[in-house]
Amino acid sequence: MKKECINPEKLSAFLDGELSEQERENIKSHVKDCPLCQKEAQGLTKLTELLNNSFLPIEPSPYFIPGLKQKIEDNEPMPAKITINDWISRIKHSLVPIGATALILLSFVAGNRIGNILYQKSSTAQEREIYTSVESSILNDSPESSLTNTYANLLPEEGER
């Protein structure tokens, strides 16, 4: 009496020892006389070995750690070897915010200079009044500790101009 062949899933479970004793006995007795299932079981066993091997922890070569340590040691003096280019790039990075602040201050000073020139060239009292009110409203309305306010405090008093 020829039993049906074992399906691969069942065979795989058998090889993994996941089946009941009864099932194992059935499969064993079938595979023993069935070259087809023997081949299948062989293939599955090889596959399992392959998978297991690929998950084995990889032992580094005995020269890996000393080599790595050597490489780290070789690189350790690096911070002391800062090149001029490194410094230039560092300075450039810190100069950007300084430059931006200087540009803002410069534009304030330039704006005030231009304003003063306009003020002095304003012919009529009305024009002067308008200019003065605009300027003082801008400066006085600025919130405390703002750049404009700080700059306003640096300006000479009205009478000193």
Which positions touch Zn ion (CB under 5 A)? 5, 34, 36-37
Smallest separation, CB 39 to Zn ion (Å): 9
Greatest alpha-carbon span in the chain? 124
Q: With respect to Zn ion, which residue has the nearer C-beta, 18 or 33?
A: 33
Dihedral angle computed from the Cα positions of residues 37, 41, 44 and 45, in that order, rounded to the nearest 10 degrees = -170
Residue 23, classified by CB atoms within 10 Å of its CB into exposed (0-12), middle (13-18) or buried (19+), is middle
Smallest separation, CB 25 to Zn ion (Å): 15
Q: How many CB atoms lie within 10 A of CB 38?
A: 13
Q: With respect to Zn ion, which residue has the nearer C-beta, 9 or 144?
A: 9
Q: With respect to Zn ion, which residue has the nearer C-beta, 16 or 33?
A: 33
User: DSSP 3-state helix, strand, coil percentages of the chain (rounded to 5)?
Assistant: 75, 0, 25
Smallest separation, CB 59 to Zn ion (Å): 40
Smallest separation, CB 63 to Zn ion (Å): 50
Q: With respect to Zn ion, which residue has the nearer C-beta, 36 or 110?
A: 36
